Structure 1
Amino acid sequence: HSNSRAAAGIASLVGSSPASEVLADAATRFRSISLDQLEQGDVANNTPAPGLFSKSVNTRLNKCDAFVSHSWSDCAPEKWAALQTWRDDFKSSKGREPCVWFDKCCLDQTNIEADLRCLPVFLSSCKRMVVLCGVTYLTRLWCVIELFTFVHIGRKVEELKFEPVLREGQEQEDLMQVANSFLNFDAEQCTCFLKEDKDRMLSIIRTAFGDIQNFNSEVQGIFRQMGWQMKLQSRHLDGLCSEPSPEPEKVGPLTPLSSDSDESSPHSDSDDSGSSGMCRLTRTPCGRRSPLQASSYPLDNYPSDGTSGSDDLNGNSRLE
C-alpha cells in the first residue's frame, strides 16, 4: 500500500535500517489488545508492567482498530474516561470490543528498540488514530511525530478521532488551553529530553513539508476540519466554546489506508499487510536509551528508579 511505503520512508529517515527490513520486522512484532482486557489501574501511570504485554496478542498488519495516541503527562483518570467514551461509541457502532495499539501494553519492554523503530508502521497498520488530547498533548515531541506520521502517509481526517481529556472542575480552562494549543500550534515549541533529537525530528518534518509552518498549518487544519468545538458543545460543555466552529476545510490530498473496510473481525485471517514504516522512537523505560535517546514519547518518561515518572513541560523525564 502507498501509505505503507510512506511510513517506511519516515522510518528510513529517522532510523538506519532498510525499509524492507523494518516492514518484515513490523509484521512479526505488531500487537494489539482488546479494551475489555484493560483496567483503569493498568494505565494509571507509566511505570513498566511486563504483565500487561501478555494481555496483548500478535496481530496482522491492518487488522487493528485504532492506534491510541496520548501524553502520559495528561491527567490519568480523565484520560481513562476519554478512552472509555471512544470505546462505548465503537461498541455501539460495531457491536464488539475494539482492539487497539496502546504503548504500555503493546511495546515489548525486553526488546523495546526493535518495537520503537517500527512505530510508524504500527500506526499506519491501524484503521484509525484515536487521540486522547489533554493540555500537554501538543507539547510532547513524540505525540507530534505521531501526528506527523498520520498526515504524511496520507490518511483521511475521518480516520482521526479526538477525545478531549478535561479535568473535572477545570473543563472550561482545559478546553480553552487545548483549543489554543491547536490554533496556535508550532512544532518548534514542542519539548524533548535531548535537543539533538528535537532538531533531528524537526529536520525530517521540514524535509517532508518544505518548512515547519506548512506542517503547523496541516495540524491546525485538522483541528478545524474535525469540528471539535461543535463536538464538545454537543456533549453539554455549554459555554466552553463561544465561537462557532468554522466551515470544514480541506487538509490535503488524503487517501485511505487500505480498501479493506470490513471491521467485523480485527484479527481476520486475510492478510493485507502492506502497511509499514519504521522509526527509532524512544518510549524508553528504566533508564535504557534507544538509538535516538529521546524521551518525549508516551512511554518515554519511565523513571529508572521504578517510581511513576512524569514529563514536565521542559521536556525532562526522569530517565536518569
Structure 2
Amino acid sequence: MEYTHLGRSGLSVSRLVLGTMNFGPETSEEDSFGIMDAAHEHGINFFDTANVYGWRKGEGVTENIVGRWFAQGGGRRERTVLATKLYGSMGDWPNETFLSALNIRRAADASLKRLRTDYIDLYQMHHVDRRTPWDEIWEAFSVLRQQGKVLYFGSSNFAGWHLAQAQEAARARHFLGLVSEQSIYNLLTRWIELEVLPAAREYGIGVIPWSPLHSGLLAGVLRKQREGGASRGVDERSAKRMERHRDAIESYEKFAAELGVDPADLGIAWLLHQDGVTAPIVGPRTLAQLEGSLRALEIRLDADTLTKLDEIFPPPGPNGAKPAPEAYAW
C-alpha cells in the first residue's frame, strides 16, 4: 500500500479510502466486518463514513456497524484513520441538521457514541451551510479539538470560494482549518478542476474524490451489459447518463481493453495521477470489489495515455486542461 499525507497535515493515510456507505443498506454487518478486516490486511488505514449513512433518520446505521467492528479490539481502532461527517438531518426537530454550534456539539457526541471511540480523526462538513457564520463553525470545532474529541477537520461538496472563505476565517483565528475536501470527481465529472482543485492545492487541502467511477458508468458498464452481467449502471438515472455519454464510454472501454486493464481500475488510476488528489473513495459492496480496486495502485499512466483520456473525456471549459479563469477566458 502507498501512503501520503492528508493535505498539508502530518497525518499519513492510504492512497485508497474505504467508503462505508453500503454497510447496512447493501452489505450485511458480517460482510462489512470482513471487508474492513481485509482493508487492514491490505494496508488501507483510511475509513470514511457519515452519521446519515444507512439512510434511516437518526439511527446512524453505518456508524453503528463500524463501532461494533472497532469494539472487537485487536488494534482495529488504533490502526484506522477514522473520518465521519455531519450536516444531514438526524431528526425532525430544529437544530438536528446543518452546522450550528449546537448541532456540531450534539452530532459529534452522538457519532462518538455510535462509533465506540473517544475521538474522531477527521470530522467533515458534509455540505456547506450558507446560513451559519464561519466564526460560529470554527469556534464550535475548536472546542471539539480542545476537548480531544476531534483531531482534524474537512469539508465536502464545497465550491472553491467556500474553501477560501473557510481557510481565511480559520487563519484569522490562528486555527489550522481544513485539511481535506471531499468532492465528486471522476473522468465524467471534472468540474472541480476549474476552481476547487486549484484552491485546494493553494491552501494545502487534500482532495478526496467520491464516486470515482460515476455510479458504475466507468466500471465497464457496456461490456457487462453485453455479457449479461449485473451492473450498478442500469437504474433509470444512470441509464439516462449512460445514453448521454455512450460514445465516450464506448471509446473508454475500448481504450482500457487496448491497455489491458479493467475500466474500473483505469478510472481510479487516473484519479491517483491527478495533482492534489490524496485518495479516491472506494465503496465496495463485496470483498471481491474491495480486492479488485487494489489493482489501480499498480497502474502507471504515461503522458500519452493521460492525453488520450483527456480526448475521450475533455476537461471542462473550452480551453482544455486549464484552471479558471483561463479555462474559459483568455
Q: Which has the higher strand share?
A: 2
